[in-house]
Structure 1
Amino acid sequence: MTNVVLVLADDLGYSDLGCYGGEIRTPNLDAIGRSGVRFSNFYNTARCSPSRASLLTGLHPHQTGIGVLTSNDTPRGYLGSLNDRCATTAEILGAAGYATGMSGKWHLSSEVHTPCAAWPTRRGFDHFFGTLTGCGSYYAPGTLTRGERDASAEFDTPGFFYTDAITTDAVEFVHRSASQPHPFFLYVAYTAPHWPLHAPEADIDSYQGTYDDGWDALRKARLGRLVREGILPEDTELTDRDPTQPPWSAVTDQRWEARRMQTYAAMVERMDRGIGRLRAALEETGQWENTLFVFLSDNGASAEDIGDEHYQSLRNRPENFPGTTRSGEQVFLGNHPESDPGPEDTYASYGTAWANLSNTPFRRYKRWTHEGGIAAPCIVHWPHGGLAAGTVQHAPFQLVDVLPTVLEAAGVDYPQRRQQVELPPLQGVSMLPALRGAESEPHTLFWEHTGNTAVRDGQWKLVREHSQPWELYDVHTDRSELHDLAAERPDLVSKLEIQWEEWASRVGVLPWDDVIALYRERGQTSQHANG
């Protein structure tokens, strides 16, 4: 039987990897991608928790209880935890005789301190090491857990760094499992490169000079490499710089701005080194050839500025923001040129302009359903799987298609019930035919997140921001979404809108205005509803 390894990055942009046009050093993923299959039109669901729910269940996130993030807004809002009407990959493969392990970020439970039915150990994972919450320090991550026990003592080990700890645990799982007679499923969920910007100083310094030319020049260079890699067609247009951001020539503190992106790049490279260690473990144990390896990102790059007023609430969430370092020094929260990101006593993000670079050539970011929010790098490698190795697959797929692919590769059927509760049918299709070079069956893709909505049917994509008019794009000729055809094709807008409304009703999408109203009744704002 086939082993399965799913590796998920956190907030990684579409063009950050070298094999997707980036200047960040990612030799391990580049080698896997260029010798496997890279997707150019793969999509996530625009946000971390919903993407994780969809990836692991083959359902749309609203069906799983994870409509926004992990706040429990029942009975009128979303549950905020995996419900009992979905089955995870670990539960399904575990029932078929697989050993199941997870290393890294869970973020699928509203309860992060006390074990409950939505914890990984109770959703099919025999082994778990990682964090229950959505973000935190890389030096002292909150809610660090091993099994169902607090593991915070582990980050007092000299040299502890969370990205490396995730890798080490995953490698140990491979070595243990490879000696057993049954196959294994391993889910590795890195928090890199999600803020805070934390990385060892030597790693940051190694990118000295790389970003001195600034975001304008680097975006153009990335698009050129995306075309040369065969990811995007030669006539792809580059979107304008985000209108809220200055040209690089007008930036007053270029050294500090470059330092922000250097730190982000160091975080991505550290993750790539870990993936190299994981591949080495699979090769050393003779498992690499018969392992279905999938790598992807949970959403587009994040333009979140944790220095603004909304993110000051982090001060009241010690599981996300520790307040002090392990040695008792105060941690500086926010983005300011007087504070270079990277060390444990900083807590910063890289900002809109660099996120715009990460999502080259697209516009918008994490949380939006325009291409910058949902287009993801996706790499699949399986030497014994008969894949069309060394190719780029241009057919569109999304996260609900991953579980059907895994189950077909493993030769395991999707169950009709979980603990006597009837399950919805899988919402996606297997990507294996496309991975093997066959023409894929067309299927319609749908999205909704915080009122941002989209539907893609073949070459046509209908998309809108919450409370804004629909926009229509021919993404075969205009992947960058620069030429809105809605006024020219009202018939097509109407047809796709009807499809989206039918889908939204079927999967349980709540009207976003109703969710906002719920938060306002509590004395909170629409920003709080967004999570």
Structure 2
Amino acid sequence: MRCSRFMLFAGLLLAVFCRLPHARVSAAEPSSKPNIIYIMSDDMGYSDIGCYGSEIDTPNLNQLADSGIRYTQFYNTARCCPTRASLLSGLYPHQAGIGHMMSDRGHDGYRGDLNRNCVTIAEALRPAGYRTYLSGKWHVTKKIDPKSDADKKNWPLQRGFDRFYGTIHGAGSFFDPNTLTRDNQYISPADDPEYGPEQQANGQYYYTDAIADHAVRFIQEHHVDDGEQPFFMYVSFTAAHWPMHALDKDIAKYAGKYDAGYDAIRKARYEKMIKLGVIDPDATELFPIEERLKETEFWDWDKRNMEVYAAMVDSMDQGIGRIVGALKDTGEFENTLICFFQDNGGCAENYGRGPKGKPRADKPTLEPLAKDYLQPQMQPRQTRDGYPVRVGKGVMAGGADTYIGYGGAWATVSNTPFRLFKHYTHEGGISTPLIVHWPNQVKRQGELDSTPGHLVDLMATAVDVGQATYPKTAHGGQAIKPMEGKSLAPTFRGQQIPERALFWEHEGNRAVRMGNYKLVARGAKGKWELYDLSNDRSEQHDLAESKPAKAKELAAAWQAYAERANVLPLNPKRPK
């Protein structure tokens, strides 16, 4: 999908008539209800896009921010699948059955499958006349290798989506992703008649491009097939989750960009964030990066990891630009609410960063894979053309035969100026940008908004602006838990929403925010720490001992939440 927009649309229009028996051209007036597009990136930190402080080139997100609102105190849930469960359901993740990851830990809050006590945004909007689309990562079911249709009960089409292209599992190669699926059927990226080399960037499959290109396809085919209806689309990128995989043309753009090192890049981001107004220098300290996280012996290797990471973010932004272009081409841009956010903070996991790795072979050493071979593993053993996949220090990231994460020092840079990372409920683990853009309704162009918000608010927002009715029962009469969030729509007009407490728990890491005060603990046995975020958002000055009454008040609020929201027992282990 690299030709001009006009040629692309004409080709897709022809494809619709040739390929889809139900295709029709509607003469009806467009819907007065807005289209809604929620775009989420993966394993990115608060400062990783240009309009929040980064040196990475993200012109399309920057433009959406310049014409919309940037929220500076919005939150996710600290981890990939709990965030997806919370976003989709409008509940805290344990209430939706996914308090941890995709395994059953023997308690209702930890089943590892999206439960039937919730509805997804797609299920809530469909009765209001919306068509529903998903392109990208799903990751809210443990049934990734289904033996029957019953095993697919929590796949996208069975949870309210009309069309789906993406992966059921949570991580994988960007060049050969496992569990790649169209609608309900696994497909091979090397043997896909609907998305072959002629549609791919330089004839090469790259998952970030594929996600964006299918989002474009859904917009354009919706315009032809169902233009009288509004649509909801969830675009769930896997960039910039490990492995550090990117196209050569994008990596080349960042060659030498990180030569100055971790501290210099982080300081430059901090200063840019202050200049942009994203952070208050009086409320955020730029504390040192832990020395133990810095790579010294293999610096050129680790510098390369960040160059590839930047290329991944850049590629995602290019895809978002194509999505915006498709909206403009179909006349839907003005009446589309676009929200961009992230699933957790930067990732300090050391995947692939072990002992020194092996050099690349001069030629393939394994048999090539058949085109229709379905990749079963998160980390493939080999590339399609027969090169072994390599990990370890010194293995230069980027290509399909590598599988490397970017590590704790760069994750600290990503999370500038906050503490800790993905997994943790300190600000570095749960803070996300939120960009809101909707020309028909959002007139606060380029403004910053400090309203504290949470992913649970996005269900409430969709139901509000989509004029939908959130159900009390669904799935054959099953009782549905009430929404936990508040619609953000009043803030689009500069109004306030009621102040409320926000809660977190993941792997024993837990937190509650009420007003400007936040109580947070690291690990199930960690002691409570208390911070006044109005003057200490980087969480450096613990007030738990000096303000014991406030700490006690917030701890009681968290305990009440944990008891009602299926959080307890705290961080249970898998049954043996």
Structure 1 counterpart SS, 2:288: coil
TM-fit CA distance, 1:60: 0.5
TM-fit CA distance, 1:75: 5.3
AA in 2 matched with 1:370 = H
Contact 1:105 1:131 (8 Å CA) reproduced: yes
1:271-310 superposed matches below 5 A:
271-307=316-352
Pairing partner for 2:300 from 252, 255, 260: 255
Pairing partner for 2:470 from 376, 393, 414: 414
State the match for 2:428 in structure 1. 372
Give identity over the alignment, percent: 45
Q: 1:387 to 1:433 in 2, by over 3 A?
A: farther
State the match for 1:142 in structure 2. 178
State the match for 2:21 in structure 1. none
State the match for 2:245 in structure 1. 198
State the match for 2:366 in structure 1. none
Mean Cα displacement is larger for which, 368-377 or 64-73? Answer: 64-73
AA in 2 matched with 1:447 = W
Instruction: Encode CA deviations 1:67-91: one digit per residue, 9 max, x unaligned.
Output: 1111123357721011111000111
Structure 2 counterpart SS, 1:453: strand
* 1:69 and 2:101 aligned: yes
TM-fit CA distance, 1:247: 6.1
Aligned mates of 2:111, 2:461 — CA distance in 1: 28
Contact 1:223 1:238 (8 Å CA) reproduced: no
Contact 1:459 1:474 (8 Å CA) reproduced: yes
Aligned mates of 1:331, 1:120 — CA distance in 2: 30
State the match for 2:10 in structure 1. none
State the match for 1:113 in structure 2. 145
* 1:449 and 2:506 aligned: yes
| CA RMSD, Structure 1 to Structure 2 (Å) | 1.8
Pairing partner for 2:558 from 500, 507, 528: 500
AA in 1 matched with 2:181 = T
Contact 1:177 1:183 (8 Å CA) reproduced: no
Contact 2:35 2:232 (8 Å CA) reproduced: yes
1:54-65 superposed matches below 5 A:
54-65=86-97
State the match for 1:346 in structure 2. 402
Contact 1:212 1:254 (8 Å CA) reproduced: no
TM-fit CA distance, 1:387: 4.1
* 1:216 and 2:263 aligned: yes
Contact 1:29 1:272 (8 Å CA) reproduced: yes
State the match for 1:525 in structure 2. none
Mean Cα displacement is larger for which, 324-333 or 190-199? Answer: 324-333
Pairing partner for 1:40 from 72, 83, 106: 72
1:446-485 superposed matches below 5 A:
446-466=503-523, 467-485=525-543
Instruction: Encode CA deviations 1:122-157: one digit per residue, 9 max, x unaligned.
Output: 000010000000000000000000011111133884
AA in 2 matched with 1:465 = R
Instruction: Encode CA deviations 1:309-346: one digit per residue, 9 max, x unaligned.
Output: 8xxxxxxx94311111011211013x312x10000000
1:180-191 superposed matches below 5 A:
180-191=227-238
State the match for 1:313 in structure 2. none
Contact 2:242 2:403 (8 Å CA) reproduced: yes
TM-fit CA distance, 1:386: 3.8
Q: 1:66 to 1:491 in 2, by over 3 A?
A: same
Mean Cα displacement is larger for which, 144-153 or 231-240? Answer: 231-240
AA in 2 matched with 1:122 = Q
Structure 2 counterpart SS, 1:378: strand
Pairing partner for 1:388 from 438, 444, 453: 444
Pairing partner for 2:210 from 148, 160, 165: 165
* 1:23 and 2:50 aligned: no
Using structure 2 for the length normalisation, give the TM-score.
0.86
TM-fit CA distance, 1:181: 0.8
Aligned residues: 509
Aligned mates of 1:93, 1:405 — CA distance in 2: 11
TM-fit CA distance, 1:204: 1.0
1:118-133 superposed matches below 5 A:
118-133=154-169
State the match for 1:207 in structure 2. 254
Aligned mates of 1:12, 1:321 — CA distance in 2: 20
TM-fit CA distance, 1:113: 2.1
Structure 2 counterpart SS, 1:100: strand
Aligned mates of 1:503, 1:150 — CA distance in 2: 39
Contact 1:220 1:238 (8 Å CA) reproduced: no
State the match for 2:4 in structure 1. none
Q: 1:90 to 1:247 in 2, by over 3 A?
A: closer
Instruction: Encode CA deviations 1:261-320: one digit per residue, 9 max, x unaligned.
Output: 0000000000000000000000110001000101000000000001368xxxxxxx9431
Q: Following TM superposition, where does structure 1 have runs of at least 4 consecutive aligned residues deviating by more than 4 angstroms?
A: none
AA in 1 matched with 2:262 = W
Structure 2 counterpart SS, 1:103: strand
Contact 1:260 1:349 (8 Å CA) reproduced: yes
Pairing partner for 1:270 from 289, 304, 315: 315
Aligned mates of 1:246, 1:404 — CA distance in 2: 40
Aligned mates of 1:82, 1:121 — CA distance in 2: 13
State the match for 1:527 in structure 2. none
Contact 1:216 1:247 (8 Å CA) reproduced: no
Using structure 1 for the length normalisation, give the TM-score.
0.93
State the match for 1:528 in structure 2. none
TM-fit CA distance, 1:243: 2.4
Name structure 2 gaps, 5 residues minimum: 1-32, 198-202, 355-374
Structure 1 counterpart SS, 2:292: coil
Aligned mates of 1:244, 1:136 — CA distance in 2: 30
Contact 1:447 1:455 (8 Å CA) reproduced: yes
Name structure 1 gaps, 5 residues minimum: 310-316, 523-531
TM-fit CA distance, 1:252: 3.1
Contact 1:369 1:449 (8 Å CA) reproduced: yes
TM-fit CA distance, 1:412: 1.2
Structure 2 counterpart SS, 1:39: strand
State the match for 1:526 in structure 2. none
TM-fit CA distance, 1:463: 0.2
Contact 2:353 2:405 (8 Å CA) reproduced: no
Aligned mates of 2:298, 2:541 — CA distance in 1: 35
Aligned mates of 1:45, 1:77 — CA distance in 2: 14
Larger radius of gyration: 2
Contact 1:109 1:118 (8 Å CA) reproduced: yes
Structure 2 counterpart SS, 1:211: coil
